């Protein structure tokens, strides 16, 4: 959902362009002003915006555009390319050390989300079969160690702590501990600090010199404004960071910090935090993000989500059932379960191309619809589920009472189930060759 | 102005004398010069605009302010560059000072502290507790952030530092229940100021905002005699998203004031100018450090000065 404001604005800026056959310099200039304002509103750093606009304008007024048949499209393509390049080209992973443990140090300003993301990273690596260790080097903030311990427990990862003692010493001991206990990844949570706090920055430098972490990751709040570049630049200059983690991207921030951070540090954004749960961590894909900014949708993420959450074998079974017309309400229930695993409908919809926030804002998606439907089906007897035609008025009343819904809801569900069945029948008929007139094509295929 | 006109005349005549070519040639040069001057003006205004943008004031509020300044410069025929900067500060101060609160609170008062994740709500509560305690007030803290790991422990440490009592339930408890208990406790202790910490929540999460609404309802129902303040905590480094944050929190629980934290960094927190201009929410406090005393009443003049000093 992040960036939707920018998408909206860019779309309106380009609307003027896409209607035109040929562009002149004035057209481009005007559109670029809109782009500039949109980027600034999105908290993209001022200097970054200036450079970006200059680059885009140069390319746009060049022959590339003037001779193109669809100049508007061409401009969008250029903006897209420049945005992607700005955010770091293709995505980059955390490099594992040839000799474990791989040591990652998390640094950043106060409240960016270091401790939470230490936990998320531990969870992420554990899922990959690694054996991480969390290290509590934040000895300043009240209860920071306790927080890391609670988080560590939730993700089933040990936490190394030595109370409020010297963080450099803690880091050193933790490294030995990790080697002894065969932890192949060490995640060091450090105290939040201002980049202009010399004393605390020196502490980080000492830790770095002492334990030589393989990567230093800067945690950046996606809601940060113009100052994001100052902090990122300063951390990079003083410590030499290897990458960034962008947090709180599940807010409605337009997230210009993402664009700016890479530009000023030259370091890639490796992960994005997208929620409060410890699973809510994504590998950051700059190209997809640029597509999203331009309102081109994020089809790749949908496909990946589907692949991760939908069971292929079950899908094949389902297909067979649909073809042979033996699709029951039980199967419908299972289908719903799988869709639910993919995340919130609002999130998924926002990734579909052409689905910009304007269209979405009109629709209040009812996230409870799926659980409600599930409750209705679950209130049916097995017999009713396989043969819905036996559901008469008194059965409907019972089902509605059992699921805490209204009879209309039950009717609605039965009706849409019948419709689905009818549609499936038409589709299978068509593929059998009965409907020769033009191939049936789903809008998303 | 009279002096200037004289100068310009002299300059023109010198130009005429120096260039004994065709008339058209001269006028084109003059045009160029006039253009040059107006460009300096534009450049100067653009510089001011940049200062506002860099301070996170945002494009809309910046445009509004600049329109106002340009108009005044034109109407009052102001030519002195340094005066224009002064005007800009004046304008910022007038936006910020309008309707500001004197911060004296009647007894009893409930202060509900809200905001997105990581802005410094718990720390602000700790500092507020210390501040009011010092003023001789009876303070009670309600630890209604029952979501974030160890938030309660963090607040407990602050309550010990400030030597004020705290109402604390376990992690995962119903925050509205914590507030309910705290209100009962505040009544029986004759507390002057009840400070309610809440979990950080992104303003676009409907369920979490509803939870906040519930807490607010409990306060209104159980403690109607108390004066209520809702303090929105904003991190000075936050960009334009702060406007949406303020808007949605205001809609949900009726924010009455802002605490701007982490102003000791390089971020200027200019977005509160936009929040004030567009939503009318005044700034009560600024946080400038990690110590108990590092929370100060907001001073519009100082803030405006810092905004335009780069």
pTM equals 0.75
Q: Taking the domains of chain A in order of start, what are their residue ranges? A: 4-86, 102-303, 311-431
Q: Is the pLDDT of residue A69 over 60?
A: no
B39 is in which domain, residue-wise? 2-97
Can you give the pLDDT at residue B287? 93
Of A1, A142, A151, the CB nearest to B154: A142
**Average pLDDT along chain B:** 85
Give me the pLDDT at residue A212, please.
Answer: 94
Stretch among A151-160, A396-405, B212-221 having the lowest mean pLDDT: A396-405
Residue A42 has pLDDT above 90, yes or no: no
Nearest by CB to B237, which of A1, A154, A227?
A227
Instruction: Give residue-wise pLDDT tens across range A141-183.
Output: 889 999 999 999 999 999 999 999 999 999 999 999 999 999 9
Contact A140/B at CB under 8 A: yes
pLDDT at B8 over 70: no
B239–A224 C-beta distance less than 8 A: yes
Q: Do A109 and B265 touch (CB under 8 A)?
A: yes
Looking at the fold, whether B76 and B152 belong to one and the same domain comes out as: no
Give the total number of structural domains in chain B: 2
Provide the pLDDT confidence category of residue A235 given band limits of 50, 70 and 90: very high
User: Residues of A with CB below 8 A from B158's CB?
Assistant: 142
Residue in B233, B251, B230 with CA at minimum distance from that of residue B242: B233
Q: How far is A238 from chain B (nearest CA, A)?
A: 16
Q: What confidence score (pLDDT) does residue B308 get?
A: 76
Residue B16 is predicted with a pLDDT of: 45
CA distance B262 to A152: 28
Asked if the model's pLDDT at residue A398 lies above 80, the reply is yes
- How close, in Å, is residue B264 to chain A by CA atoms? 8
Cross-chain residue pair A252–B241, CB shorter than 8 Å: yes
Least confident of A286-300, A331-345, B202-216: A286-300
CATH no. of A311-431: 1.10.260.30
Residue B300, pLDDT > 60, answer yes
Closest CB from B151, B203, B265 relative to A194: B265
Whether residues B68 and B196 share a domain: the answer is no
Do both B194 and B72 map to the same domain? no
Distance from the B153 Cα atom to the nearest Cα atom in chain A, whole angstroms: 6
Q: Would the CB atoms of B116 and A248 count as touching at under 8 Å?
A: yes
Q: Which residues of B touch A225 (CB under 8 A)?
A: 56, 237-240, 242, 267, 271
Residues of A in Cβ contact (< 8 Å) with B240: 41-43, 225, 254
The pLDDT, as a whole number, for residue A291 is 64
Burial (Cβ within 10 Å: 0-12, 13-18, ≥19) of residue B17 = exposed
Q: Give the other-Cβ count within 10 Å of A426's Cβ.
A: 13
Segment B5-31 shows an average pLDDT of: 47
For A324-380, how does the pLDDT look when each residue is reduced to its tens digit (9 = 90+)? 777 788 887 877 777 676 666 666 665 555 454 444 454 555 667 778 888 899 899
Same domain, B90 and B113: no
Cα distance between residue B163 and residue B168, in whole Å: 15
Burial-class residue A110 by CB neighbours within 10 Å (0-12, 13-18, 19+). Answer: buried
Cα separation, A249 vs A222, whole angstroms: 6
Helix (H, G, I), strand (E, B) or coil at B272: helix
User: Both tokens of residue B95?
Assistant: 């936006």
Confidence label for A435 from pLDDT (cuts 50, 70 and 90): very low
Task: Determine the Cα–Cα distance for residues B240 and B232; give it in Å rounded to an integer.
Answer: 15
- Check which CATH number belongs to the domain holding B265 and give it: 3.40.50.300
**A260: Cβ contacts below 8 Å, ≥ 6 apart:** A43, A44, A45, A48, A228, A229, A232
Q: Which residue of B has its CA nearest to A224?
A: B238
Q: What is the pLDDT of residue A83?
A: 80
| Mean pLDDT across A56-73 | 66
Nearest beta carbon to residue B202 from set A143, A228, A250? A250
Residue found by looking up tokens 């009109």 in the block:
A362
pLDDT at A307: 59
- DSSP code string of B210-221: HHHHHHHHHHHH
Mean pLDDT value of segment B251-268: 93
* End position of a domain, from candidates B97, B123, B143: B97
Residue A127 — pLDDT band, cuts 50, 70, 90?
Answer: very high
- Answer whether residue A251 shows pLDDT above 90: no
Tell me the DSSP string of A285-320. Answer: -HHHHHHHHTT---HHHHHHHHHHHS-HHHHHHHHH
Straight-line distance from the first to the last Cα atom of chain A, in angstroms, rounded to the nearest whole number: 24
Burial class (CB in 10 A: 0-12, 13-18, 19+), A303: exposed
Whether pLDDT at B164 is above 90 = yes
Q: Assess contact for A37 and A26: CB atoms under 8 A.
A: no
Average pLDDT (B41-62) is: 86
Contact list, A147 vs chain B (CB under 8 Å): 148-151, 153-154
Residue of A nearest to B158 (CA): A142
A264: which 2 tokens?
A: 């000023």
User: Is the Cβ–Cβ distance between B284 and B258 less than 8 Å?
Assistant: yes
Q: Give the bridge partners for A224, in sequence order.
A: B238
Residue B171 sits in the same domain as residue B44: no
Structure tokens at A44: 């993209």
Q: Is the pLDDT of residue B3 over 60?
A: no
Q: What is the mean pLDDT of residues B175-200?
A: 96
- Same structural domain, B136 and B221: yes
Integer-rounded Cα radius of gyration of chain A = 27
Give me the total of CB pairs closer than 8 Å, taking one residue from chain A and one from chain B: 139
- Which residue does chain B place closest to A154, by CA atoms? B149
Once rounded to an integer, what is the mean pLDDT over residues B198-220? 93
Q: Does A123 lie at the interface with B, CB-CB under 8 angstroms? A: no
Residue identified by tokens 């309910």 is B180
* CATH classification for the domain delimited by A102-303, as one of 3.20.20.70, 3.65.10.10, 3.40.605.10, 3.40.50.300: 3.40.50.300
Residues B51 and B165 placed together within one structural domain of the fold? no
A258-272 mean pLDDT = 87
Q: Is B90 exposed, middle or buried (0-12, 13-18, 19+ CB in 10 A)?
A: middle
Rg, Å, chain B Cα set? 26
Q: Are residues B113 and B82 in the same domain?
A: no
Neighbouring C-beta atoms of residue A134, cutoff 10 Å: 26
What integer is the mean pLDDT of A47-54? 89
Do B89 and B10 lie in one domain? The reply is yes
Confidence check: pLDDT of A1 > 60: no
Q: Cβ–Cβ of B150/A195 closer than 8 Å?
A: no
Least confident of A62-76, A236-250, B180-194, B234-248: A62-76
B122 and B27 both lie in a single domain? no
ipTM: 0.80
Q: Residue A64: its pLDDT value, please?
A: 59
Do residues B120 and B258 both lie within one domain?
Answer: yes
Task: Over range B51-77, report the average pLDDT.
Answer: 89
What is the mean predicted confidence (pLDDT) over A74-84? Answer: 76
How far apart (Å, rounded) are the C-alpha atoms in residues A437 and B268? 66
Query: Which residues does residue B110 pair with via DSSP β-bridges, in sequence order?
Result: B194, B228
Out of A111, A230, A250, closest to residue B118 by CB = A111
With CA atoms as reference, report the closest residue to A97 among A7, A191, A4, A215.
Answer: A215
Res B270 pLDDT > 70:
yes
Position with higher pLDDT, B85 vs B298: B298
- In this prediction, residue B23 carries a pLDDT of 47
Nearest to B153 among A46, A146, A256 (CB): A146
Characterize the bridge pairing of strands A269-273 and B166-168: unpaired
Task: Enumerate residues 180 to 239 of chain A having a beta carbon within 8 A of any beta carbon in chain B.
Answer: 194-196, 221, 223-228, 230-231
- Identify the CATH homologous superfamily for domain A4-86: SRP54, nucleotide-binding domain (1.20.120.140)
Question: Helix, strand, coil shares of chain A as percentages rounded to 5?
Answer: 55, 10, 35
Q: Could you tell me the two tokens for B82?
A: 């340094």
Query: CA of A221: how far to CAs of A144, A247, A290, B116, in Å?
Result: 18, 5, 19, 11
Considering the domain architecture, whether residues B78 and B113 belong to the same structural domain is answered as: no
Domain contains B310:
no
Separation CA A388–CA A272 (nearest Å): 45
Q: What is the CATH number of the domain that holds B54?
A: 1.20.120.140
């Amino acid at each position: 959902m992040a960036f939707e404001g920018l998408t909206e604005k860019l779309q309106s800026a380009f609307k003027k362009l896409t209607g035109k056959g040929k562009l002149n310099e004035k057209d481009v200039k005007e559109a670029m002003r809109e782009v500039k304002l949109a980027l600034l509103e999105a908290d993209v750093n001022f200097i970054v915006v200036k450079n970006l606009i200059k680059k885009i304008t140069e390319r746009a007024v060049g022959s590339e555009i003037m001779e193109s048949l669809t100049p508007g499209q061409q401009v969008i393509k250029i903006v897209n390319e420049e945005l992607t390049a700005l955010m770091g080209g293709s995505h980059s992973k955390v490099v594992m050390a040839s000799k474990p443990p791989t040591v990652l140090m998390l640094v950043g300003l106060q409240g960016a989300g270091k401790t939470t993301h230490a936990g998320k990273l531990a969870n992420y690596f554990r899922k990959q079969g690694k054996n991480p260790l969390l290290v509590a080097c934040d000895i300043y903030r009240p209860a920071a160690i306790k927080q890391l311990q609670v988080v560590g427990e939730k993700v089933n990862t040990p936490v190394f702590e030595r109370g409020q003692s010297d963080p450099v010493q803690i880091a050193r001991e933790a490294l030995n501990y990790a080697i002894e206990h065969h932890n192949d990844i060490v995640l060091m949570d450090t105290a939040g600090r201002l980049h202009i706090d010399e004393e605390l920055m020196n502490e980080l430098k000492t830790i770095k010199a002492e334990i030589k972490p393989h990567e230093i990751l800067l945690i950046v709040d996606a809601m940060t404004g113009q100052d994001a570049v100052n902090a990122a630049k300063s951390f990079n200059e003083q410590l030499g960071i290897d990458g960034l983690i962008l947090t709180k991207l599940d807010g409605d921030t337009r997230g210009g910090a993402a664009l700016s951070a890479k530009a000023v540090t030259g370091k890639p954004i490796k992960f994005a935090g997208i929620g409060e749960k410890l699973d809510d961590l994504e590998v950051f894909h700059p190209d997809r993000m640029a597509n999203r900014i331009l309102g081109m949708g994020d089809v790749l993420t949908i496909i990946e989500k589907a692949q991760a959450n939908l069971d292929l074998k079950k899908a094949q079974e389902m297909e067979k059932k649909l073809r042979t017309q033996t699709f029951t309400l039980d199967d419908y229930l299972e289908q719903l379960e799988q869709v639910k695993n993919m995340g919130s409908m609002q999130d998924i919809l926002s990734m579909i191309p052409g689905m910009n926030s304007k269209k979405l804002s009109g629709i209040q998606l009812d996230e409870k619809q799926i659980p409600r439907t599930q409750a209705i089906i679950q209130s049916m007897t097995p017999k009713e589920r396989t043969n819905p035609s036996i559901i008469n008025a008194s059965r409907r009343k019972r089902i509605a009472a059992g699921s805490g819904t209204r009879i209309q809801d039950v009717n609605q569900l039965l009706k849409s189930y019948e419709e689905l069945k009818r549609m499936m029948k038409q589709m299978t008929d068509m593929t059998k060759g009965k409907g020769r007139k033009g191939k049936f094509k789903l809008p998303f295929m | 102005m009279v002096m200037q006109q004289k100068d310009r005349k002299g300059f023109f005549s010198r130009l005429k004398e120096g260039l004994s070519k065709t008339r058209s040639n001269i006028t084109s040069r003059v045009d160029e010069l006039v253009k040059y001057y107006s460009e300096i003006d534009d450049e100067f205004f653009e510089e001011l605009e940049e200062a506002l943008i860099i301070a996170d004031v945002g494009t809309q509020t910046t445009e509004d302010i600049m329109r106002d300044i340009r108009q005044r410069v034109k109407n009052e025929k102001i030519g002195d560059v340094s005066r224009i900067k002064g005007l800009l500060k004046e304008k910022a101060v007038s936006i910020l000072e309008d309707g500001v609160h004197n911060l004296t609170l009647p007894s009893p008062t409930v202060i509900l502290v809200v905001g997105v994740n990581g802005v410094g709500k718990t720390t602000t509560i700790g500092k507020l507790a210390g501040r009011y305690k010092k003023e001789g007030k009876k303070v009670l803290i309600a630890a209604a952030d029952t979501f974030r790991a160890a938030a309660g422990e963090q607040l407990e440490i602050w309550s010990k530092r400030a030597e004020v009592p705290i109402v604390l339930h376990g992690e995962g408890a119903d925050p509205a229940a914590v507030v309910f208990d705290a209100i009962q406790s505040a009544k029986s202790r004759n507390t002057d100021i009840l400070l309610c910490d809440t979990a950080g929540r992104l303003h676009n999460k409907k369920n979490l905002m509803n939870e906040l609404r519930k807490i607010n309802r409990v306060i209104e129902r159980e403690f109607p005699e108390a004066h209520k303040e809702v303090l929105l905590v904003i991190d000075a480094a936050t960009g334009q998203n702060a406007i949406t944050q303020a808007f949605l929190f205001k809609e949900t629980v009726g924010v009455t004031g802002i605490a701007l934290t982490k102003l000791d960094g390089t971020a200027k927190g200019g977005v509160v100018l936009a929040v004030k201009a567009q939503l009318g929410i005044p700034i009560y406090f600024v946080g400038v450090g990690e110590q108990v005393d590092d929370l100060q009443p907001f001073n519009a003049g100082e803030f405006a000065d810092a905004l335009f000093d780069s």
